[in-house]
Amino acid sequence: MEKRDERLAVVAGGAGFIGSHLVDHLIGDGMRVICIDNFQTGRFDNIRHLEHEPRFDLIDADVTDPLSGKLTRSGSTPDFVFNLACAASPPHYQADPEHTLMTSVLGTRNLLHLCETAGARFLLASTSEIYGDPEEHPQRENYWGHVNPTGPRACYDEGKRAAETLAFDFLRARRADVRVARIFNTFGPRMRADDGRVVSNVITQALAGDDITIYGSGDQTRSFCYVDDLVRGLMALMTYKGTYRGAINLGNPHEMKVRELAQRVVEMTGTRSLITFRPLPVDDPRRRRPDIALAKKVLGWEPSVSLDVGLEKTIEHFMAVAKAAVRFPLMRPSSRRRRSQSAERDVAAP
């Protein structure tokens, strides 16, 4: 029998990469979902399959604008509000830094006000970027970070740090029940081909037979979590019934060099692409790995999908995207962006 759940979840950024997987999970659990997205980096393609789903609604809006009045549908008092609204890839969030900072700060404020009025629980999708270029390794939640407040990454990093501040101020004042997830590098199907991050870049380059671009020496490290694992972690945090309220790292502790990741993709795709080296972006963190002891203890959560299995599924996704582009070469991407993005240059076919 079909699962039913009268609870309503609002997912800001629900047409994005992680957001749309979360929406699928919530609908699968039987909940009603309202997705708020401005389609800056989110895509209608990610939620097209829900177009005729009666438990799904879409509001095309920017979270920096006041939200009151937008949730007018009868019975639309949410139980859960997830805030995943923000461009998360450096080339995208740096294209309009003012908007990026405001999305985190004003967007979080607007959604917290909504939670305060509705009595809803709030989950902020924060980020490992709040640790900056970390001097402690691996990163534990009690590390305050090493962020350059004036550099090109600051609009994202400081925006998320301020969003965490606001969330915990609402919690302390008992204005809302909040949960904060610090999300580490995540990958999987529905990443944009023009996302600009290493996993999507390397796979699309390998599949096209183009040069693979490694920034710097490629010795910098990241720890990549498959999107299904991450969504399970977000759900565990939102539905957690205990009393712990600090920020919690969600990520895969399997750390590797960026060069090793590229090599693995080369092996898995059998590409003849050459690995090439480009300058390292300013303030690029040298290493990153989550300590997930807290997530294990508090939520009983840890990732279970291996890098290879995750990469296989992601490669399949990009192969399907490339195939569709060949079939419909003149079709334009469906993303309706509010602001012009420099990333528009290399927008991929849908």
- Contacts with ligand UDP by CB under 6 A lie at 89-90, 185, 197-198, 201, 213-215, 220, 222, 258, 281, 284
Report the amino acid identity of residue 221: T
Rounded Cα gap, residues 221 and 98, in angstroms: 29
Catalytic, out of 93, 131, 143, 156: 156
Residue position matching structure tokens 């183009």: 210
- Among this protein's residues, is 240 annotated catalytic? no
Nearer to ligand UDP, 151 or 281 (CB): 281
Choose between 217 and 304: whose C-beta lies nearer to ligand UDP: 217
Q: State the minimum distance, in angstroms, from the CB of residue 92 to ligand UDP.
A: 10
The nearer residue to ligand UDP, 168 or 277, going by C-beta atoms, is 277
CA distance 65 to 198: 32
Least Å distance, CB 280 to ligand UDP, is 6
Give the C-alpha separation, 61 to 76, whole Å.
Answer: 16
Question: How many angstroms separate the CA atoms of 9 and 75, rounded?
Answer: 12
Closest CB 212 distance from ligand UDP, rounded Å: 8
Non-local CB neighbours of 251 within 8 Å, separated by 6+ positions: 128, 182, 183, 184, 185, 186, 223, 225, 230, 289, 290, 292, 303
Q: Cβ closer to ligand UDP: 278 or 339?
A: 278
Task: Report how far residue 260's alpha carbon sits from residue 120's, in angstroms, rounded to the nearest whole number.
Answer: 43
Q: How far is the CB of 180 from ligand UDP (least distance, A)?
A: 19
Q: Are 83 and 63 in contact (CB under 8 A)?
A: yes
Residue whose C-beta lies closest to ligand UDP: 197
Q: Indicate which residues carry an active-site annotation.
A: 156
